[in-house]
Each structure stands twice: as C-alpha cells, then as structure tokens.
Amino acid sequence: MNKHWWQEVVVYQIYPRSFNDSNGDGIGDLRGIIEKLDYLEKLGIGAIWLSPVYQSPNDDNGYDISDYEAIMDEFGTMADMDELLAEANKRQIKIVMDLVVNHTSDEHAWFVEAKKGKNNPYRDYYVWADPVDGQAPNELRSAFSGSAWEFDDASGQYYLHLFSKKQPDLNWEKSDVRQAVYDMMNFWIDKGIGGFRMDVIDLVGKVPLEGITGNGPHLHDYLQEMNQATFGQHDLLTVGETWGATPEIAKLYSDPERHELSMVFQFEHIGLDQQPGKEKWDLKPIDIAELKAVLVKWQTELGDEGWNSLFWNNHDLPRMLSRWGNDQEYRVASAKMLAILLHMMKGTPYIYQGEEIGMVNTPITDISQAEDIETINLYHERLAEGYTEADILTSINAKGRDNARRPIAWDASENGGFTTGTPWLALNANYQEINVEAALANPQSIFYTYQQLVQLRKDNPIMIWGDFELVSTVDEVFSYYRTYEGERWLVVTNFSNEAQPFTAEDEISAHVIDNGESVTTLKDITLQPWQAFVVKVN
C-alpha cells in the first residue's frame, strides 16, 4: 500500500460562519480565516476541511448551494478564496473543500429551470414523481422532519428532498448531472485545493421510488467514474461522509485497488448514545465497553483495504467533551484524555474548531435561542406529537447541532473577539474563561496537548503506520499497543469519573505524553479519573 500525505497529517475542520469575523457583520468569513492561519500553523495541522463557502441562501447554513463556483456574499469574494488558498499553501496547509452534490439549493439555476415545467431540459436533473392516491409517492422522510417529498402545484408532481424543502435532491442517474458535477470539481481542483469532503455521498446512489437511500446500486460505479474524471489524476484527500458504513462497506469506498476515495467518516461510534432503532434525540447513556468494541473493530477490520478517519466532533455533532467527557470538574483532564485516546489510534485525525481549546455544549432554555433548521423542525414536530417541551429541550441540549456552531472566542473581550458586531449566534457565556488567548497563555492548556499530539505524529511513524492491539482491562479503561518496526507504545486511558485498576507486565522505557502525572510503573496501578498516558515499552 503506497503512502500518501493525507495519511500523515492532522486535519482541522472550520465552520466558517462561526470561526472569525473580519468585517464586523457578526458572521465569520474568509478573511477572518486568513487572519488566523498563523494560529493553525502553530497548532501544526496539515489541512483544513472548509465547510461550504459557496453561494447559498443559508437555509441549511451553506449546505444548500445555489452556485458552486461563486463565494457566498457574507463570506467574501473569490479573490479572498484565492488568497486563502495561497496563504494556506505558504504554510504547507492544504484546503479540503466541502462537496455537497447529493442536492442543491432550490435557488440553484438548475432547479429554477426544472420548476418551469415537465419539458424543461433541466427537469430530470432532479427527482420528480406523480402523486399516489393523491398523496406523496412513498413514506420516505426528510432528515429535517416531515415527508421527503414536496408538492409542486405548477406541475402537480412531487420533488424529492432528503433534507430541507429548499434542498432538492439531484438525480444522479442522469449522466449530464454527473458530468456537470465533475466539471465543477475540476474547476476547484485547478485552483490547487487539497481535496474534498463529500457530503452524504452514500446517498447519491439512491433509488427513491424503491425507498432506497444510502448505498444504492450504482453508488460505487458513480464514485469510480468521478475518480477517473476528476481527482484520480491527483494525490488529493477525498473523505466520504457515510453514515451507514460498516468496515465491509468502508472497504468498498477506500480500498486503493478500487480507485474511489481515500477514506470515509463512519458514524457507528456516534450512534451509541441513542436508543436502538430510534432517532439521535432519543437518548441513552454511552456504554464505554460498547464504544471500545466499535472503535477496536474499526481499528482492526480495515486492514490494508482502507483507511480510517478519526473524529469525535464536527459541525453536526454536540461537543464530545460535554457528551462523553466530563465538562465540569474534569473538563481539562477529560478533554486531554479524549485527544490522546483518539490521536494515538491508526487513521487520519480530524480536529473540529474549538475542540483544541476544550469548548463545551451551550444549553438553551427556549427554542428562540436555536438557529439550526434541524433543531427547529424537530422541536415543532415533537411538540405536535405530544412530547413535553422540557423533554424536547433536553434532547436538543444533548444533541442539537448549534452546540457545535457557537462562535470561537479568540480572547476575553466582548463577544470573545469573534466579532466587533452582534454575533449571528450567541457565544457560550463561558468565553471569558474558554478562549484561544487564555489557552495559548497556559502551558498546561488543552491546546498544548493537541499541539504535542500533532507534533508527535510528524516525528513518530509508529503513530501513522503502527499496528493496533487492544489490552484486556476493566470496561472503563481503554488501553492499546501500537507496534512498528520493533518499537512498541502503550496507550492507557481511564474513560470514567472513577479510579480504575490497571496492570501490565511491560517495563517503561520512555514517556511519550500524559494528561497529568507521569507513571513510574505499569504493575498494579490505580488510574485517576480521566487519567491518560502513553509510554514506550521498548
């Protein structure tokens, strides 16, 4: 298996709206990112996954694109984008763009044309279907509540939208659609980008009238065609967002012999704190033994037929420090433990903006404080279904996407220095304690643990290429070896609020990293709550 740059770097995800506002309109923007490239260079990351910055009416905050080759006015200009690419490349930081091609905005020129009538040449760029008994064609539901079919009065047909009504699904069975997507991708590749994160790419093979959404029959034909027509000629990072992936399915996407993608985001671990067969809003406590089993499966079952991405957070997920860590009395220790546990595994690690300074969830007390369409639709749907408002807000505070989208605080000044205006979404009230300036000023901060992990990966091939081997422990202790060319590291973490026992026969030959005290022996020790350390054992 030949080696690629995207196996060796740590990727940092930026949600531009909430990263840094350079012009005082309360909305993060491209020039705001340029202003912070030195900070990201200090962190040591090798690539930025940039959430969508294309022209959009922002029904889903940029994941509803009305022009793939123009920059959203609020984020700046194409000249700003070109400058960001140039300035990032000067710092050996690649820019990975977000490719959102399962659907467009309903304000995209293609859909404006398609809605003009059944005979319009763009009509079957989208998925239309006649009513069945005067109703929607089938029971498919939108991820944002309600039916996945929207009735179009003018033509008497429904169109498909697996997300919001303003995000009509593209018809990937039409080769003109695929070619138009590839042409757009090559426009961005010619600009020197580092790759693509592919939004819900497992859905583009859908067969909606048969109720098939993810992993449809032609999905991999399309991806192999896309590879050949665009990035396959370049060494780019391509990561598919594939909610339904198992290791077997992941191999179909990322086995180098298949010439599809570099890797996928799998979400099996992310679904472990929801009641089986229900929605993410139907909560259940995380079981660390279950989490360990899932992560170990992904570490051991891809083999050489694929490559893992490693993440706890993104712009759709609640802050992991609040979700499965302890954001109260053990905020710093548990944040560092989560970082050490993840970054010592095999795969490409992703840091989501604010994770490196230990940002936590931001509870709301009233739905008026929410911004995200998924949350607002859920609130109204469940209210209508008879759920109590208190229960709905409990679910929203645990799983709502706004938790990840609260603006970054750069210092303790008003609005955390994120903006001189009014932030589009209020910051967490703790920004005077949790901000970048405070993190950089404190040698014991979470930031420096992330910086050290990123540097360790650059200096130690074992972190990238080493074999993974689980250590048998009590449920709440997650420990494993990494072994490479005779070198062997032992990772030990206590994923709990309680002291836990641990023992190993190995002798410590060197200390690599820890989140507090360094151990002097591995024999019959007691791990403090959230304690984490890595030692060389030969």
Name the H helices within 216-317: 219-229, 247-254, 288-301
Distance from C-alpha of 90 to C-alpha of 94, rounded to nearest angstrom: 9
* Whole-angstrom distance, CA of residue 63 vs CA of residue 229: 24
Nearer to Ca ion, 28 or 214 (CB): 28
Question: Out of Ca ion, ligand TEU, none, which partner does residue 63 contact, by CB within 5 to 8 A per kind?
Answer: ligand TEU
Comparison of 15 and 480: residue with beta carbon closer to Ca ion: 15
Kindly report the length of the chain.
538
Task: Write each residue from 183 to 222 as x if it is in contact with ligand TEU (CB under 6 A), else as -, in one continuous string.
Answer: ----------------xx----------------------
For 30-69, the three-class secondary structure string (H helix, E strand, C coil) is HHHHHHCHHHHHHHCCCEEEECCCEECCCCCCCCCCCEEE
Which of Ca ion, ligand TEU, none sits in contact with 374, Cβ below 5 to 8 A by type?
ligand TEU
Min dist CB 501 to ligand TEU, Å, is 36
Q: Which of 202, 241, 371, 476 is catalytic?
A: 241
* Rounded distance between C-alpha atoms, residue 222 and residue 101, angstroms: 12
Selected from 9, 10, 11, 27, the binder of Ca ion by CB under 5 A is: 27
The pairing of beta strand 94-99 with beta strand 157-160:
unpaired
Distance CA 125, CA 168 (A): 10
Q: Which does 25 bind (CB under 5 to 8 A by kind): Ca ion, ligand TEU, none?
A: Ca ion
From the list Ca ion, ligand TEU, none, partner contacted by residue 200 (C-beta under 5 to 8 A by kind):
ligand TEU
Produce one character per residue of 181-193: b if its CB has 16 or more CB atoms within 10 Å, e if not. Answer: bbebbeebbeeeb
Q: How far is the CB of 102 from ligand TEU (least distance, A)?
A: 7
Q: CA-CA distances (angstroms) from residue 400 to 36, 99, 335, 364, 370?
A: 27, 23, 20, 10, 9
143 binds ligand TEU (CB under 6 A): yes
Q: Could you tell which of Ca ion, ligand TEU, none binds residue 280, using a CB distance below 5 to 8 A set by kind?
A: ligand TEU
> Does 243 interact with ligand TEU (rule: CB under 6 A)?
yes
Residue 93 near residue 47 (C-beta atoms within 8 A) = yes
Contact residue for ligand TEU among 6, 12, 63, 122 (CB under 6 A):
63
Q: Is 17 in the site for ligand TEU (CB under 6 A)?
A: no
State yes or no: residue 25 binds Ca ion (CB under 5 A).
Answer: yes
β pairing state of 237-241 and 47-50: unpaired
Partner interacting with residue 163 (select from ligand TEU, Ca ion, none; CB below 5-8 Å by kind): ligand TEU
Give 514's DSSP letter.
E
Burial class of residue 124 (count of CB atoms within 10 Å of its CB; 0-12, 13-18, 19+): middle
**Closest CB to Ca ion among residues 21, 169:** 21
Based on the residue annotation, tell me whether 199 is a catalytic residue of this protein. yes
Q: Using the rule CB under 6 A, is 146 a contact of ligand TEU?
A: no
Cα distances (angstroms) measured from residue 237 to each of 11, 51, 225, 314: 10, 15, 17, 17
**Minimum distance of Ca ion from residue 449's CB (angstroms):** 31
| Contact call for residue 402 and ligand TEU (CB under 6 A) | no
Least CB distance from residue 505 to ligand TEU, whole Å?
A: 42
Candidates 21-29, 142-150, 477-485, 526-534: pick the segment binding Ca ion (CB under 5 A): 21-29
Round to whole Å and give the CA distance between 280 and 294. Answer: 18
Query: What positions carry a catalytic annotation?
Result: 199, 241
The residue ranges that bind ligand TEU (CB under 6 A) are 60, 63, 100, 143, 163, 199-200, 241, 243, 280, 315-316, 374, 401
